[in-house]
Amino acid sequence: MTDKLILSDDEWQKRLTPEEYAVLRHHGTERPWVGCFVGTKDPGTYVCAGCGNPLFRAGEKFESGTGWPSFTRPVAADALTERVDRTLGMSRTEVLCARCDGHLGHVFPDGPAPTGLRYCINSVSMRHVPDGYALPLVTA
Ligand code: FE
């Protein structure tokens, strides 16, 4: 991963759409089945909508039936950070972009082989980059 991208809350609000800002910077969750990457199978890489950090490869996307894009593993071990999320009366593992600390979703231990993990990610937190295109890394 490249250097961290640290921006003020005001700067994030200027750069992101209201939907991106609510999810990435304030831990929002998009409604199930409405995200733009539900059911898509296009080859390529999913990058952070906030900073462009590569997060997931399309080949590791699977149909979880949950209504959110789901992946079995990140593109690299250092692409994501995790932390315990005890909101909503549950203990879940929150997944954040390791570069900009943007909220992406959660990871659950009920995914398919080989990892057994299900990364349940908001579509609005990601952009899809087709294979052969440069990854748009955002800088301060
Ligand atoms: Fe990011």
- For residue range 45-85, list pLDDT tens digits in order: 999 999 999 999 999 999 999 999 999 999 999 999 999 99
Beta bridge partners, 30, equal none
Indicate the pTM of the whole model.
0.95
Q: How far is the CA of 125 from the centre of ligand 1 (A)?
A: 8
Within 10 angstroms of residue 40's Cβ, the number of other Cβ atoms is 14
Share the mean pLDDT of the chain. Answer: 96
pLDDT tens for each residue of 76-133: 999 999 999 999 999 999 999 999 999 999 999 999 999 999 999 999 999 999 999 9
Is 36 annotated in the active site? no
Q: How far is the CA of 37 from the centre of ligand 1 (A)?
A: 17
Lateral strand order in the sheet of 70-71: 61-62, 70-71, 118-121, 103-108, 92-97, 80-85
What span, in angstroms and rounded, lies between the C-alpha atoms of 45 and 56?
A: 6
